Amino acid sequence: MRTGTPWIRILDFLVVNLSTIYMINYYMELQMDQVKMRYESAQDTYDFVIVGAGSAGCVLANKLSEKHTVLLLEAGGDHHQPLINAPVLFFNNQNRFPHDWQYKTVPQVNSSFAFKNNVTLWPAGKGLGGSGLINGMIYIRGSVQGFDDVAERTSNPIWTMRNAQKHYKQLEDYHGHFDQKNHGVGGGMTIEKGDIRPVIDHVMKAGEEMGYKVRDPNLDGPITEGFAPMDFHMKNGYRWDSYKAYIEPILDRETLTVRKFAFVNKVLFTGENNKAVGIEYERHGQTKIAKATKEVILSAGAIQSPRILMHSGVGPKSHLEEFGIKPILDLPVGENLQDKYGAFVGPFFVDEGKSFLMERELTMARMVEFGIFGTSPYASTRLEGTYTFRSSKAKTEGYKYPDIFTYIMVHSTDSEYERDMEIAANTKKEILRGYYKMWAGNDSFFQLVTLPKPYSKGFLKLRDADPKSPPVLDPKYLSHQRDVDLLVEGIKFAVKLVEETKSFKEIHGKMLPVSFPGCEKLPFKSDAYWECVARHTTATAYKYCATVPMGKDTNDPTAVVDSFLRVFGTKGLRVVDGSVFQEKEVSVNQCTCQMLGSVASEFILDYWDNQASGLDNSLDDEK
């Protein structure tokens, strides 16, 4: 227990009891929703049934319900509570029931040795807003030039960078660090600066010393390496997600129905052409059917959408038969799992007051400031800066995109770091107590070196025939040697940034010469040592994707949906979420999924407008 001020002890009590607080709120909401269900309309037929009220699903539901009836189903509840909405608690809110699916990988063979049983946790939001409920709120479009690669690979100009950028800007209401002329203003997706620690200024200056520019990471045109302070999905300092932006303002729209606590088991098909006519779902102990006269759209995310498809009979034939599921279509669902992942390096120590120390920053006065103005350290996610660059191999090979992406985490190892990291990251106690905790109470920060274009790929499979069983997830981190080499180069750059620049010498930046547990026998700071650190601290950057990949046609052995996001071999079934993209091409994050929902709604509306008018419709031709 902290021994600080009474206010700090109150905060500590709240954090320690987060799960209990959320559990009480959850069961109160559950009971209220059960009562509400008794008085709901008995209607079970809609033009569109959308599964998942996350980043893409909420945008879709908003736009489609302007002209059609829409049922939006969400497995979780409404978890928009003060402790969820405060940016500073984002890390504390992960891996907690009821707003996180609490996924876990299988034990990793080549990585993640610092975590219990070599298992990494995969946070994923369960509730209205999806992963926007619990993520780091970072606003970065990523390598948008990769959309041109998608357009070329699928022969569909809908996916060009130019069109993607148009939709990003239409969605934005930008009030971030950079020039508004390169962004949109007035959209539902509010972007703000958040609260930034002084150490970030030193990171930016150190980057300039090393020959890189401080630049907007979301500019049009060929992407270049550079450093940037973070922009965030915030409004007035609070978390801002798709549900708040696109569904709350239209809840009284007669054409839109939203149902919480609706767990979808499977898609229902009919006829030889496998027409999707509805879905089967469970709600408050009752099995229900929702019918769709036009389309069923899965927007349940990169883990639940493939799970639903496979339980519906769409997936690898032999895998489905293993669990007694009758195969309808033999497609490579789940066989191309990708994730943006990386390795932690640190802590790096700096002068007092330069980073984020919870006992110092989170005073009652700053809490009042946050409540009134939406400012103060309570408006910090502690993920406050980033930089990206091309590796030596990328430059040699003429590769045009940065392949190393690093996050600056201004999270000092405070007195409760052990508890937080064990719950949110599954870190081994002996490492927390023997390495991290020895630095508690000192201003410091970490760097998470990640791979935006990873070479390692894994798989997602069903655990059994029960739809409620969590899928088997194996990302096979560091199974490709190139990923190992890239992380080592990225870590060496991160250390050089702190130890060899004037900017950090001004604040006595340093990494203490103590070996990471498990790597003590290797020469400190050698390539072999950094590889050991990378293999120990490998963890997700929360960009799961490619489990239902998009392709031009069925000649693509990895593809499950076409370039209009229709599942091959079906009618009236689309998948619109991050599962359709590949991380090697685009960054699958909150704003990209929102953009995806906007693009998809446009061509879906065009299709049904043409159908209604009797016009020739090119979308009728299966790709």
* Three-state secondary-structure class, residue 252: coil
**Other beta carbons within 10 Å of 143:** 24
Strand partners, 389: 404
- Please enumerate in sequence order all residues whose Cβ is within 8 A of that of 491, keeping only pairs 6 or more positions apart, or say none: 343, 345, 449, 530, 533, 534
* Cβ atoms of 570 and 112 closer than 8 Å: no
Helix (H/G/I), strand (E/B), else coil: 105: coil
- The SS3 of residue 211 is coil
SS (H, E, C) 556-617: CCCCCECCCCEECCCECEEECCHHHCCCCCCCCCHHHHHHHHHHHHHHHHHHHHHHHHCCCC
From the annotation, which residues make up the binding site for FAD? 264, 578
What gap in Å lies between CA 431 and CA 437, rounded to an integer? 9
Reference 296, options 47, 129, 74, 56; nearest CA is 47
H or E element at residue 429? helix 429-431
Task: Give me the amino acid identity at 215.
Answer: R
In angstroms, the CA 411 to CA 444 distance is 7
The residues near 320 (Cβ < 8 Å, ≥ 6 apart) are 310, 313, 326, 327, 462
Other C-beta atoms within 10 Å of 612: how many?
9
Strand partners, 571: 275
Residues 6+ apart with CB under 8 A from 100: 93, 94, 123, 124, 125, 126, 134
- DSSP-assigned beta bridge partners for residue 342: 450, 539
Please name the residues in contact with 488: beta carbons below 8 A apart, sequence gap of 6 or more.
527, 530, 531, 534
Length of the chain: 623
Q: Are 117 and 105 in contact (CB under 8 A)?
A: no
The pair phi, psi for residue 264, each rounded to 5°, is -85, 125
